[in-house]
Structure 1
């Protein structure tokens, strides 16, 4: 199990999400606690890097860093265009 940590910017972005985006985001967070490598590489030129993205809901995208040794997932940004 990985510990989920939110960057302060990500926290602000979450507070601005529409209500219908919150449940899919919560489901994504549950997934990231158990399968953090399930996302897509942030940088396609470096697919083995530990920065990934994962879609959620209809239009959401989370960007996060997997820290295996610490068993942590650090959520950097939450986007909802």
Structure 2
């Protein structure tokens, strides 16, 4: 299990997502705590990098870092148009 930490900007973005995004966002949090490497590389030129993105819901995108040595996921950004 990984610990999920939120960047202050990600917290602000989470507070601004619409009601319909909350369920998919909660599912994403569970996934990040159990299988954070399931995301896509943030930089395709560095496929083994620890900065990843993961889609959620129909429109959402999360950007995060996996800090494997600490078993931690640091959520950087949440995008929801």
TM bracket, shorter-chain basis: over 0.9
Aligned-pair RMSD on alpha carbons? 0.4
TM-score where L is the length of structure 2: 0.99
Residue by residue over 1:2-61, the C-alpha shift from the partner in whole angstroms, topping out at 9 and shown as x without a partner, is: 000000000000000000001100001001101000000000010100000000001000
Mapping of 1:1-81 within 5 angstroms? 1-81=1-81
Report runs of 4+ in structure 1 exceeding 4 Å deviation.
Answer: none
Give the number of aligned pairs. 81
Q: Distance in 2 between matches of 1:4 and 1:16?
A: 19
Q: 5+ residue gaps in structure 1?
A: none
Q: Write 1 or 2 for the structure with the bigger share of helix.
A: 2
TM-score where L is the length of structure 1: 0.99
Q: Distance in 2 between matches of 1:6 and 1:43?
A: 21
Q: Distance in 1 between matches of 2:46 and 2:58?
A: 27
